Chain A
Amino acid sequence: MSRENALVSADWVEEHLDDDSIVLIEVDEDTTSYDKGHIRGAIKLDWTTDLQDQVRRDFVNKEQFEALLSERGVGNDHTVVLYGGNNNWFAAYAYWYFKLYGHQDVKLLDGGRKKWELDSRELTDATPTREKTSYTAQEQDHSIRAFRDETVAAIGTQNLVDVRSPDEYSGRLMAPAHLPQEQAQRAGHIPTAANVPWSKAANDDGTFKSDEELKEIYTEAGVDWSKDTIAYCRIGERSSHTWFVLKELLGQDNVKNYDGSWTEYGSLVGVPVVLGEEKGEA
């Protein structure tokens, strides 16, 4: 994968608004954003109701994902272009999710909704109607999804990249600062994890930094490019952003997103936790 295949600019999206081979999809943390205005022709996926199992903590299964995309009019041959707020956190999460279920052609709009808005580009409240499809998903690709046991086993052996803010990493905050802080789990980080906040990979307008800048940021933080990497955050959406950078922009082979992330790890009984700014020992 490379930047040319995985990322499109706002200009490119504007030029392809009437291209039937493309489906624009908005995915936001604030699931009402789409309803306040979206890019013309875009449909919405709600990460809480469409992409999560509504009983246990997991994703919708293959059959549910197939039914969802069929009903929304997304076909296997469509180029899916994702964008959203929060500097594309949840759009990157959906990108990773589409890859997990084997969709071939997925792209991210560089800068997402913020860049589009700051450029004063057109938004509409008209909802498009799309013909239903018969979508076929693949079995989940676990080469890009990490679970808790392999994350614990990765301590001291693989690259662990904690992409939360320094205050969350050190344990001073429990959640991103736009969310209430009271949580059940413990604060801190996984021993040996490097703290490379997702935001280091993005410019203020939400676009990604250049490949050269990105490579330098992770190298300086101690990422060993010869090793496998697991990225995590609080619930797996910001780490999807970093997974996208490492895997899709920089082309690293074995990069996984640990979607259980801190809300799972910080609630596990008996696992090691480090407080403060040091990585800690294995």
Chain B
Amino acid sequence: MCGATEGGLSLDGIDVAKEAIIQGRVVRGEEPVGNAYVRLLDRTGEFTAEVPTSATGHFRFFAGNGDWTLRTLAPKADPVDTAVTARKGSVAEVEVAV
């Protein structure tokens, strides 16, 4: 829940003080999953955004203060829901295993 962690997504060029960032990585065992889709659902379960993961399995959202759910879809895997809390000025780092 602090700044960019080692091996995490670079925050270069992003004004972290103005954003409530949720970011992380999708993995299957030790391997990053580069063709997964991560959906950001709001506190009522409503869809807010979705991103495909990068080749290294990474994803990032610019959310708002509060509680969110990440729903991760990946080939040959059941959807995985992960609860996360975002706060302006901080970065919530999440690892999702599928």
Expressed in whole angstroms, the Cα–Cα distance for A117 and B15 within the complex equals: 33
Q: How far is A118 from B72 in the complex, measured between Cα atoms in Å?
A: 11
Q: In the complex, A118 Cα to B71 Cα: how many Å?
A: 14
Which of B1-9, B24-32, B34-42, B89-97 makes up part of the contact surface?
B34-42
With contact pairs A118-B75, A120-B75 given, residues A181 and B50 touching in the complex (Cβ less than 8 Å): no
Determine the interface band of chain B, counting residues with CB < 8 A from chain A.
20 to 34
B44 — which chain A residues lie within 8 A by C-beta? 166
Q: Nearest Cβ distance between residue A114 and chain B, in whole angstroms?
A: 6
The segment from A60-68, A99-107, A169-177, A263-271 found at the interface with B is A169-177
| Interface secondary structure of A, over-half rule | loop
B83 within 8 A of A: no
Known: A117-B75, A118-B37, A182-B15. A166 touches B42 (CB 8 A): yes
Query: Is B60's beta carbon under 8 Å from chain A?
Result: yes
- A57 to B79 Cα, complex, angstroms: 39
For chain A, give the interface size range.
20 to 34
Decide: A177 near B62, CB < 8 A? Known: A119-B75, A165-B48, A182-B15.
Answer: yes
Contacts A118-B73, A167-B42; A178 near B51 (Cβ below 8 A): yes
Which 6 pairs of residues, A with B, have the shortest CB-CB distance? A199-B47, A177-B49, A178-B49, A165-B48, A177-B61, A120-B75
Q: Would you list 22 pairs from A and B whose C-beta atoms are within 8 A, ordered by A residue?
A: A36-B55, A86-B50, A117-B37, A117-B52, A117-B75, A118-B73, A118-B74, A165-B47, A166-B44, A167-B64, A172-B64, A173-B48, A173-B64, A177-B40, A180-B15, A181-B19, A182-B15, A197-B47, A199-B46, A204-B39, A204-B73, A204-B79
